């Protein structure tokens, strides 16, 4: 006795993203060119295609990434995959003074040991 499988693959239905694409830039990318070793992981993993390989070389002789368009969504994937810590992503809403000073708590405000 031969049984038939009632499961059918939906070949015509396209897979849709779970979330809509983000609107506008939400961050910016900072690249430390001399730290880069040219692995291009940041370029490969960037979901918006903001990064591309430079035609120029850094001091180590590698092609470093460059920002090609202002569409960074601050997902920080480039920061996560960079083995040399050569790339940073900062939120677009952070004022320049906050980025320069950092967000360290005031002395004694951390509640830790003195």
Domains in the chain, ordered, with CATH? 32-88 (3.30.70.20)
Q: Most distant CA pair in the chain: distance in Å? A: 79
Buried b (16+ CB within 10 A) or exposed e, 42-68: bbeebeeebbeebeeebeeebbbbbbe
The pLDDT of residue 26:
84
pLDDT 10s digits, 14-61: 776 676 766 667 899 999 999 999 999 999 999 999 999 999 999 999
The helix, strand and coil proportions of the chain, stated in percent and rounded to the nearest 5, come to 15, 20, 65
């Amino acid at each position: 006795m031969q049984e038939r499988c009632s499961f059918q693959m939906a070949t015509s239905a396209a897979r849709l993203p779970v979330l809509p694409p983000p609107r506008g830039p939400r961050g910016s990318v900072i690249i430390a060119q001399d730290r880069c070793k040219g692995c291009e992981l940041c370029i490969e993993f960037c979901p918006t295609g903001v990064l591309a390989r430079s035609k120029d070389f850094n001091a180590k002789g590698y092609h470093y990434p460059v920002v090609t368009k202002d569409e960074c969504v601050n997902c920080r994937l480039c920061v996560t995959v960079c083995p040399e810590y050569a790339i940073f992503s900062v939120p677009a809403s952070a004022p320049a003074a906050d980025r320069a000073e950092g967000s360290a708590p005031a002395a004694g405000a951390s509640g830790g040991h003195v």
